[in-house]
Every structure is written in structure tokens, then in C-alpha cells.
A and B are shown apart, each in its own frame.
Chain A
Amino acid sequence: MNIIEVRNLKTKFENKIVHDNISLTIKEGEIYGLLGPSGCGKTTLLREMVMLQEFSEGSIEVLGYDIYNINHVNAQKIRSKWGVLFQAGALFSSLSIKENIALPLIEYTDLSSSMIDEIVNFKINLVGLKSSDAHLFPSQISGGMKKKAALARALAMDPKLLFLDEPTSGLDPISARDFDRLILKLRSVLGLTIVMVSHDLQSIYDTLDRVAIIDNQKIAYEGTISEIGSVNSNFIQTFFKNKEHII
């Protein structure tokens, strides 16, 4: 089943064309990467998929809904089925980590506070934070911890679809690898579909099933990583040149 389908997408800012006729398909249960040089519009595409930004032409279908013509009820429905991890975490600065994670649970379910507590503590532990840090505020924790807390918030409602914007940037190599393992585990256990924007080569090789490479406003390549070497693109040749050192 296709979780996300992008068809002939065109995005324009004033006179600048960002995407020109982009099409891609993301299937259920896969970890899909959006790659490309900086400024190619990866994050813009991600923002269009989560309805934060409008596109000019074409269509995007997420979880079976055409998000261009979606009504409010269906939009809320699919919003409850995905989790989004922003690049800088975007935790609510006036709430503690615990309250940040508990917020969707409090707003969308009728659970008792002890059950919410239990779920929050589990999610905190799952992403590798200490439960003693749960009462801290976002301004009191490091960048890496913010990222983990934001992931815990994205996972709070057990989403089927997870969007990650540069999940490993700003993490130390050990935490980054832990993060990769965590993502793989979540996918296998919870059956998540994960869409991520990444620049971390190690993470790309370790986690991604399929990738789309956006270059010069178009999709330069869509498919598995192993077949990428045969593609004739300037960006791919330079970016993946040193892959032998990594694997």
C-alpha cells in the first residue's frame, strides 16, 4: 500500500521554481529518505507533505487523502496518525519535557493521569532519555536531548507515519548511531513508515530502504541505495563518492 504519493508536483516561490514536476511514492513500512544538495527543497517537500506549506501544481496523497482538497475533519484525522520531528526539536518552551510529551495524550484521549504518566515515562525511556530529566524545561537541556524529547513527543500517539527532518544532525556520532538503531527498531516493532531528510551518510546507509534524490528541481534518482552508483548526476557522484570508506 502506498502511504504517500506525490504526483507532478510543482512549487514556486515568487519567480523561483523549487520543484518542477516531481513524482515519488512511499510504501507502507519503509524508511524513505529525501536527499539532495542544500537548498534543493527537501525540507520544503517535507513541509508540503505535512500541510505546513502549499504547493503550486500537482497533487500529494497522504494516507489515502488528497491533501490539496482535504476537509478539516479528515485533515485532523491524518494529523493524529503522523508524528513530525522538526530539525531543532520545536519543543514548547513553556512546558517541561514531560508535559510536552503528555500534551497530545491529554488533548486527544480520555486516559487517566496515571496511565498518561506511565506512557510518557515509557516513551522517555524508549528514546534514551533519563526519567529524572523529565521535569526539565527545553531551555535547560542540550541539543541532543531536545531532539530525543521531540522524538518522544512525535511518538506519543503511536503514529503510523513519522516525518524526521535531519534527525541526526547535531548529535554526537554515538547518539546518532543509537538514533538509527532506535528508528530501525521502531519500524520493525511498531510497523512505522518513516520519511526523513538527512545529510548523515552513515545514517543513510544504515537505515534507508529507498531514497529520492532531488537535484536541479527534479528527481535525479528514486530507488534503493545499492543501485545508486550507476546514476549519472553530479551531486550523487560527489556525495556518494566515498561510500567505500563507510561501509
Chain B
Amino acid sequence: MHTLITIQLKADKLFLNFSGEITVYTINILQNKLLNINTSTVKEIVFDLNAILFLDTAGALFLNKLQHDYEIQTFNVKISSHNKKINDTLELVENYKIDSNTRDERAVSSLHIFYRKYRKYIEGVKYFMEFLGRLFMSIVLYLKSFKSIRYKEIFFEINESGVKALWIVSLTSFLIGLVVAFQSSYQLKIYGANIFIVDMLGLSILRELAPVITAIVIAGRSGSAFTAQIGAMKITQEIDAMKTMGFDPYSFLLLPRIIALMIILPILVFVSDIMGMLGGMIVANIDLGITVEVFTSRFQEVIKVKHFYVGILKAPFFAFLIASIGIYRGLVVKDDTKSIGINTTKSVVESIFAVIVCDALFSIAFTSVGI
């Protein structure tokens, strides 16, 4: 590599002889070399640029800044350069650089940041309310004419988010039934209360576990899919295109998904009930010696049908929450790719949280009215 600079001190004049290629890759070296120059006796500084082979704009910007820094320190700076190209580059930099003093820094106080954040939440709540309102209006319009219901899309979504989820929902519920029965059988054996496993499993699975577990699986599976699909459609302006063609995105995209999920989730909960009880029954048979006949007759005796209905009844509400949060998150995706990731995460977390809150509310409500 060329030597970039030679420094000479003659009386009260400092000569900086630049040479070689002064580019974005080399100005860092130059900067370090210029750091420790003793300028106490110097009055005039001469930049000799005649030996420079190539100067790019970053290098020119560096020289320009250096010159100004020296001038601020009241040195007399002279530039000696006969190369037209280098002079042109320096001139270009001088014309287009931005004075660092006048730069818009946009300093903001922490109070302002807090206010902005707070406002964002309020806007978010407002937007969600608007979303619910429009959704309600489209449901009303939908129900007015059965012709406008998009059966094809609804059945497509039932297949996508319901039928294809059967396997994973069954397996999860089966394992949950197995685990719950296995854990409680150990406790029950101590008291010799083996038969009560039926009461326990029936109540917990039918009322709580099956609907909540199913809803969580579907939230992770379909909620995220809704957000990503609709978010991507928003980025590629497909939703804008639909609007300009007069297709209401609410009735084309939103309602089919919501209706499909509200139809299929109760059915999935029913399947989950069966599989959960099956898992429990197997453990009861092996671990506690309760035969299938004893198990089923006890089940009919102690578990009232209302427990089953309570579980099934909750499912459409969960479905509505999952679908509407998933779609809402898709619609607030902004025009960049990062926002899809953020909103998909939020969609899953929020819908699971909403399901659990809703379940707690149902629990309180049902208990207080004695169901």
C-alpha cells in the first residue's frame, strides 16, 4: 500500500503531503496518523494534494472536514492542488455537504416518547373497536341476504383450519387425558378412591381442558396463518386492489374465516372430549384396574350432560376471538416485512390470552348461576 501522508514542519508552516488513494477504505488510517500532531507552533497548514492518485467522495469529505476543523482552530489553511478531477470532487463535496451544526437532530424528551407510546395504545384500541364495528355491520349485511354468503370459501376454511387440524387436536387431547389420569391415579390410590377418577376426568376434560386445549392449538395453527395470509395480501396491495374493484374485504376474507372457525371449533372440541376420555380410560384400566364397563357406567351415573354442553358452548366464542384477533393483526400489518413477524407473534399470544380470559369469565358466570 502507498504511504498516504507525509508530515513536514517548517518554521510555523505545517505541510501535509497526501499521496496514494484516499478512499473510504483508507481515511481511517489517515485519521489515526493525523491525531497526534503537535500544532502548538504552527500558524499555517498547507494541504498538498498533487500526489493523490485517486480521491473518492468519502476521502474528499474527510479532507473538507479536516480543513474546516483546522480553520475553526484559527489556523491558516491553504490547499495546493493542480489536478482538475480532484478539485472537482472537492467542489462537489463542498456544495453538497451538510453543515453539522444545522442538522436536524430531532431530539425528543422522554415525556414525548411516553406520550407517543401511550397514544399508540389508544389508537390501537380505537382501531380494534372500529374493526369490531365494521365486522358487526358486515355480519348484519351478510345475514340479510343468504345469497351473499360465500359458501365455497367457508368450506375451504373449514377444511384448512378444521379438518386438517383433527389429527393434531386428537393427539394433544389424548395425551392430556393420559397425563391428567396418570398424575391423579397416584393420589387416588393412596386413599383407595380409585373410582373417583371417572368424576375427575369427566368434569375437568369436558368442562375445561378439551375446549381450552383445542382453542390453544387452533390459535397457534390458524390464528397465525390468518395474520400471515392477510398481512402478506396487504403488503402486496391485494387488499387495496380488492377494495378498488368493489369487493369488500370483510365479506370476502374475514367473515368466511370467522364463520368457518365458529362452525368447526365445537366439532373439534367434541373430538377432543372423546380422545381425552379415551386417554383417561386407558390409564384407569391399566393403572387402577377399572374396566371399561365400570368406567362407562360410572360416567353415565355421575357426569351430567350439562358439563358436555358447557364445554361445547364455549367453543364458538373462542373461535370468534381467535379468528378476529388473527385477522385484525393481519390488517394492521404495515408496509414492511418485519411487521408481519411482529404481528403474527402478537396474534398468537393475544388470542391465547383472550381465550384464557374468556374461559375464566365463563367459569365465574356458569358457577354463579349454578350450572
Contact = CB atoms under 8 A, between A and B. Distances in A.
A138 B336 CA distance: 8
A93 B337 contact: yes
B88 interface: yes
A122 B57 contact: yes
Contacts of A124: 98
B58 interface: yes
A118 B65 contact: yes
B120 interface: no
A17 B92 CA distance: 45
Interface in A174-220: 185, 188-191
A9 interface: no
A192 to B, nearest CB: 11
A115 interface: yes
Contact of A122 (B31, B93, B106, B338): B93
Interface string A80-107: 0000000000000110000000000100
B103 interface: yes
Given A112-B31, A118-B100, A190 B337 contact: no
A158 interface: yes
Contacts of A224: none
Contact of A137 (B85, B88, B336): B336
A121 B97 contact: yes
A63 interface: no
A191 B338 contact: no
Interface in A108-137: 108-112, 115, 118-119, 121-126, 131-132, 135, 137
Contact of A94 (B58, B65, B98, B338): B338
A157 interface: yes
B94 to A, nearest CB: 10
A237 interface: no
B57 A158 contact: yes
A189 B336 contact: no
Contacts of A105: 24
A189 B98 CA distance: 19
A139 B335 contact: yes
30 contacts: A93-B337, A94-B336, A109-B28, A111-B28, A112-B28, A112-B31, A115-B62, A118-B61, A118-B97, A118-B100, A119-B61, A122-B61, A122-B97, A124-B98, A125-B98, A126-B92, A126-B96, A131-B98, A131-B103, A137-B336, A138-B335, A139-B335, A158-B24, A158-B57, A158-B58, A188-B88, A189-B88, A189-B92, A190-B57, A190-B89
Interface of A: 93-94, 105, 108-112, 115, 118-119, 121-126, 131-132, 135, 137-139, 155, 157-158, 185, 188-191
